[in-house]
Structure 1
C-alpha cells in the first residue's frame, strides 16, 4: 500500500495555544480523504503543515515519502494547496488568471498552453473565462480557483473548505468537479469540510479531529456502523461530545 500522506503525532503550539496535540492519520494514494472538526480543532493548522507553509512543533509528516520539514521543495513540486480564503486577481480575466498561475509551473509555452487548457476544461466556465474575475459569482470564483489547484495535475491536492459559503447548486457543481477530476486523473485529495453530506459523498475515508487529536478514523460506513449512527453528522457529534 502506497501512502500519499503519513502524519505521525503532529503537534503545533502558538504561544500557549496547542492547535495540534499529537494528530496522526494516513492518506492512501488515489483516495479522497476528509479531515473533519469544529472550528479551532486544528484542521487548517494540519493542512498548512502538510503544505509546508508552517512547521510542526513536533512529530513528522511525509508526502509521498518526502519529509515536509526536511524536503519541502520536493513536496511543493507534487502538491497543490487551496486555502479557504484564497482569491484571484480581480482585474484579470479568468483565462488570464489561469495563464498567470500556469507561468509559475510551465517551462515552455506549449506546456503552459496545455496546463491552461486543462484549467479551462476543469472549470467548465466556458465563455465566462474571458470576463474579469470581479464579475464572477462566488461559485464561479471557487470553480476557477479549484481549476487552478488541479490543472497542474499534482499528485496531491489539499483543499480547505472547498465549498464554504456556496449555495446548494454551486456546492454540487464544485463537488462534482473534485470527484470527476480525482477519478479521471488518479489525484490524491485531502480536504477539510464542515458539510457532512459533502464528506460522505466525496470521501473514501475520514478522520475526525477534536481539540488537536484524531479521535476516530475510517470509511463513513465503518464509522456509522461502529458508533451505531445513521449518518456521519451524528457520529461526529458523538465522538466530539457535542450535545
Structure 2
C-alpha cells in the first residue's frame, strides 16, 4: 500500500527554486530515506509533506489525502520531528511526555497509554524522568523529543536528522527506537540524514536528492551495486556526477 505519493513537487522561494519536480512514493511499513547535501531540498520536502509549507506546484498525498486540500486530516495521521526540535526545559521529562499526550488525546486512558509508550521509547530512568529537562544532555533531550513523536503511534513519522549532534551511544539508541517502532506498528517513516551508515542500517529504500531534484531511488545495496560503490556515500557522489553529466 502507498502511504505517501509525491508527484512533480516544486517549491520556489523568491528567485530560488528549492524543489524542481520531486517525485517518489513511500510504502506502508517502510523506512524511506531522503539523502542529500545541505540545501538539496530535503527539509523543504519534509515540511511540505508535514503540511507546514505549501508547494508552488505538484501534489503530495498521505494515505490518498492531499496535504494542500485537507491539511487538518493529514495532521491526524502524521507526526513530525524537526532537526532543531527541542522540548520544554522547565518541565520534567515525564511532564513533557504527558503534555504532548494531552494535546493528541482527550481520553485520560489514551493519554496514560501514550505516556507509558513514551517512557519506554525514551529509555530514561525513573529518576531522570523526574528531573527538569534543562539538566538533560542533548542526547537525552533528543530521546524525549523522539519519544513524544512516536508515542502517539502516527501512521507516518517524519524525522528530520533524528540523530543530529548526538554521540555514538545516543545515536544507536535513537536508531533502534525507530527500527522497533516500524517493526511493532507496521507504520512508515520518512527520514533525512547526513549519516550514510545510519541510512544503510535503517532504510529500506533511499532517494538521492541534489539541487532540488531526485537523482535516483533504490534499496541501499542496489544503489551501491548500480554505481559499483563500496558504500552509500560513494554511490551518492557517483549518482550526482552521472546526473550532472546527463543534464
Counterpart residue number, 1:63 = 62
Paired residue secondary structure (1:189)? strand
Instruction: Give 1:123-202 correspondences, 5 Å limit.
Output: 123-127=122-126, 128-202=128-202
Distance 2:173 2:120 in 1: 14
Q: How far apart are 1:170 and its partner, in Å?
A: 1.2
Distance 2:18 2:49 in 1: 14
Alignment deviations for residues 127-177 of structure 1 (CA, whole Å, 9 cap, x no partner): 211111101111111110100000000100000000000111111111111
Q: How far apart are 1:241 and its partner, in Å?
A: 3.0
Q: How far apart are 1:182 and its partner, in Å?
A: 1.3
TM-score by length of 2: 0.96
Distance 2:185 2:146 in 1: 15
Q: How far apart are 1:181 and its partner, in Å?
A: 1.5
Distance 2:59 2:163 in 1: 29
2:7 matches 1:8: yes
What number of residue pairs does the alignment pair up? 241
Structure 1: runs of 5+ lacking an equivalent: none
Distance 2:222 2:239 in 1: 14
Moved over 4 A (4+): none
Instruction: Give 1:1-243 correspondences, 5 Å limit.
Output: 2-127=1-126, 128-241=128-241
Distance 1:163 1:82 in 2: 11
Q: How far apart are 1:46 and its partner, in Å?
A: 0.1
Alignment deviations for residues 5-30 of structure 1 (CA, whole Å, 9 cap, x no partner): 10011000000011100011111111
Q: How far apart are 1:239 and its partner, in Å?
A: 1.5
Q: How far apart are 1:240 and its partner, in Å?
A: 2.1
Distance 1:110 1:201 in 2: 35
Paired residue secondary structure (1:49)? helix
Distance 2:110 2:168 in 1: 35
Distance 2:97 2:200 in 1: 30
Distance 1:223 1:161 in 2: 21
Q: How far apart are 1:112 and its partner, in Å?
A: 0.8
**How large is the Cα RMSD of the aligned pairs?**
1.0
Distance 2:101 2:169 in 1: 28
